[in-house]
């Protein structure tokens, strides 16, 4: 009995030491991130051509093996980048959906770290026990036009059975050739997911996909759950409460479910929203830190001590977030006042190059929204909705406007400005007012689902806020939100 007690104490001490080492590496990864961030990838709308110089550099680097493993429908090359000499194969693939690039950027940050001279001891363990394989952009044709589906118009993630897409065929072939022990299936999700019953966005969401309808847990799936439980602990340090877990209903057509069934412990990671992080660069950093930390815990084997209960403790994903939520405003309809909540979303509209975007706001819901949340929330109790006016003068061109003059117009209750000469290339107003053509007839004002949210809020007869294209402007502060725009209506 004395020997057994001593042995248990020794094992506990060793476990604490390993956990301490992994905490240390996580903190180092977070604090030194800027040293390894791939500076050429700063925005989400990255294209296949943006990655080719980086892939070429790794193909000329003796530490890495770079191999062409397939082509997209339009003939863009798919590459696999590998490093390490261990017996455990870890396969990471990203951007199966063309408009989900956050982890693609993080992969190149991770590759920069793996290529560096830092953290020699940890990398010795990683390279000695693991062989890492990265397929950074599975759907380059979709990425070219920033759309979810491939050129065939199908969702590659629902092609695991028929394998009609060359991209899906490549993913299956690579997984089978590696017989990967672990797989990281890297995606983006809507920024409007929240951790269930909280106002916090699901900045990162996880799933260890089921491999059958019964949702059984074998060692393969159980190991994925343990790694996720470990990763959740890391994210909680930097985005507390901002982690969600997907429903694990079995989807027989999905790659994640099938790759789990084929024997690879599969970890689905979805990058969601983070307040103020339009280009998802903070979320990219969280991907970098948590994935590298997970790779290290797989190398050490310490994930095996994580309880499955840690996985189930992660709250489920919900979808109850708005960009802007206005609570209890007063709205007069047909001579009677009503109290409404408004939930507003701002849709991203790509420009012609699919390299930039502008916003188009709409009211997504109204009524009692007390069970919903907003990235930005205003308690508008006591505020009345006032219709926005059209400025009485017609401007000759957009050059007559600027941010300051637009804010002055808002102070007087004007949200629409007529301009006689509008360029055909101009598709939105760069100012916090809507620009309309000389002959444009403004429709009758009303609040309704699907309508563009543009109006004023007054308090005791004084204009206090402007809502322009779904953006809230505090007229007393006299400044506009970052990265906002008005509409251009002809």
Full DSSP string of 236-289: HHHSTT-EEE------TT-HHHHHHHTT-EEEEEEE---TT-TT-HHHHHHHHH
pLDDT for position 152? 98
Coil, helix or strand at residue 372: coil
pLDDT for position 10? 40
Percent helix, percent strand, percent coil in the chain, to nearest 5: 30, 30, 40
| Number of domains into which the chain is organized | 2
pLDDT tier, 14 (very low <50, low <70, confident <90, very high otherwise): very low
Average pLDDT over residues 304-316: 98
Residues 449 and 392 in one domain: yes
Coil, helix or strand at residue 374: strand
pLDDT for position 4? 42
Please choose, from the candidates 278, 184, 264, the residue with its C-alpha nearest in 3D space to the C-alpha of residue 228. 184
pLDDT for position 67? 98
Q: Which of 288, 318, 348 is the last residue of a domain?
A: 318
Average pLDDT over residues 110-123: 97
Please choose, from the candidates 201, 335, 186, 191, the residue with its C-alpha nearest in 3D space to the C-alpha of residue 270. 186
| Mean pLDDT of all residues belonging to the chain | 95
Average pLDDT over residues 390-400: 96
Residues 141-178 as b/e (b if ≥16 CB within 10 A, e otherwise) read bbbbebbebbbbeebbbbbbeeeebbbbebbbebbeeb
Residues 273 and 395 in one domain: no
Average pLDDT over residues 289-316: 98
pLDDT for position 12? 44
Residues 221 and 312 in one domain: yes
Indicate the pTM of the whole model.
0.94
Residues 334 and 372 in one domain: yes
pLDDT for position 19? 52
Q: Which of 303, 318, 333 is the last residue of a domain?
A: 318
Domain ranges, residue 428: 321-489
50 has a pLDDT exceeding 70? yes
CATH number at residue 136: 3.40.630.10
Residues 129 and 269 in one domain: yes
Residue 278 in tokens:
């339009």
Residues 295 and 345 in one domain: no
Largest Cα span, the chain: 93
pLDDT tier, 15 (very low <50, low <70, confident <90, very high otherwise): very low
Residues 277 and 340 in one domain: no
pLDDT for position 162? 98
- The dihedral over CA atoms of 375, 389, 483, 191, expressed in degrees to the nearest 10, equals 30
Residues 336 and 252 in one domain: no
CATH number at residue 416: 2.30.40.10
Residues 375 and 241 in one domain: no
173 has a pLDDT exceeding 60? yes
Please choose, from the candidates 448, 421, 446, 452, the residue with its C-alpha nearest in 3D space to the C-alpha of residue 434. 452
Residues 348 and 312 in one domain: no
Residues 118 and 160 in one domain: yes
Length of the chain: 490
Average pLDDT over residues 30-37: 98
pLDDT for position 23? 73
pLDDT for position 11? 39
Q: What percent of the chain has pLDDT over 70?
A: 96
Residues 54 and 109 in one domain: yes
Q: Which of 318, 351, 385 is the last residue of a domain?
A: 318
């Amino acid at each position: 009995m004395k020997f057994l007690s001593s042995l248990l104490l020794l094992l506990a001490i060793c476990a604490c030491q390993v956990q301490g080492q992994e905490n240390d590496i996580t903190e180092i990864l977070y604090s030194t991130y800027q040293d390894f961030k791939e500076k050429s990838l700063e925005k989400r709308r990255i294209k296949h051509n943006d990655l080719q110089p980086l892939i070429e550099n790794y193909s000329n680097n003796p530490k890495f093996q770079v191999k062409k493993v397939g082509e997209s429908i339009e003939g863009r090359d798919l590459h696999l980048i590998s490093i390490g000499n261990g017996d455990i194969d870890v396969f990471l693939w990203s951007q199966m959906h063309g408009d989900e690039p956050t982890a693609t950027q993080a992969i190149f940050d991770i590759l920069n770290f793996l290529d560096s001279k830092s953290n020699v001891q940890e990398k010795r363990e990683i390279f000695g026990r693991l062989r890492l394989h990265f397929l950074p952009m599975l759907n380059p044709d979709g990425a070219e036009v920033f759309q979810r589906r491939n050129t065939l118009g199908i969702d590659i993630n629902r092609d695991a059975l028929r394998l009609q897409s060359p991209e899906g065929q490549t993913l299956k072939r690579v997984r089978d050739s590696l017989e990967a022990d672990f797989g990281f299936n890297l995606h983006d999700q809507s920024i409007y997911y929240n951790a269930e019953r909280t106002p916090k966005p699901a900045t990162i969401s996880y799933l260890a996909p089921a491999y059958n309808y019964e949702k059984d847990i074998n060692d393969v799936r159980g190991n994925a759950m343990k790694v996720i439980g470990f990763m959740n602990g890391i994210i909680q340090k930097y985005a507390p409460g901002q982690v969600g877990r997907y429903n694990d209903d079995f989807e027989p057509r999905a790659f994640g479910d099938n790759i789990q069934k084929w024997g690879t412990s599969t970890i689905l990671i979805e990058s969601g929203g983070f307040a103020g992080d339009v280009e998802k660069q903070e979320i990219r950093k969280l991907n970098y830190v948590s994935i590298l930390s997970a790779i290290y815990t797989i190398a050490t084997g310490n994930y095996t001590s994580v309880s499955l209960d840690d996985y189930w403790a992660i709250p489920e994903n919900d979808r109850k977030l708005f960009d802007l939520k206005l609570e209890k405003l007063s709205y007069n309809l047909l001579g009677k006042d009503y109290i409404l909540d408004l939930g507003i979303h701002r849709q991203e509209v790509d420009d012609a190059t699919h390299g930039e975007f502008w916003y188009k706001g709409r009211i997504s819901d109204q009524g009692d929204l007390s069970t919903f949340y907003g990235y930005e929330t205003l308690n508008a109790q006591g505020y009345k909705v006032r219709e926005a006016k059209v400025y009485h003068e017609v401007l000759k061109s957009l050059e007559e406007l600027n941010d300051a003059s637009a804010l002055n117009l808002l102070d007087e209750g004007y949200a629409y400005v007529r301009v006689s000469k509008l360029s055909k290339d101009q598709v939105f107003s760069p100012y916090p007012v809507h620009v309309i053509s000389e002959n444009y007839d403004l429709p009758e004002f009303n609040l309704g689902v699907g309508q563009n949210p543009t109006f004023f809020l007054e308090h005791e007869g004084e204009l206090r806020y402007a809502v322009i294209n779904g953006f809230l402007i505090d007229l007393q502060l006299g400044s506009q939100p970052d990265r906002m725009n008005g509409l251009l209506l002809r």
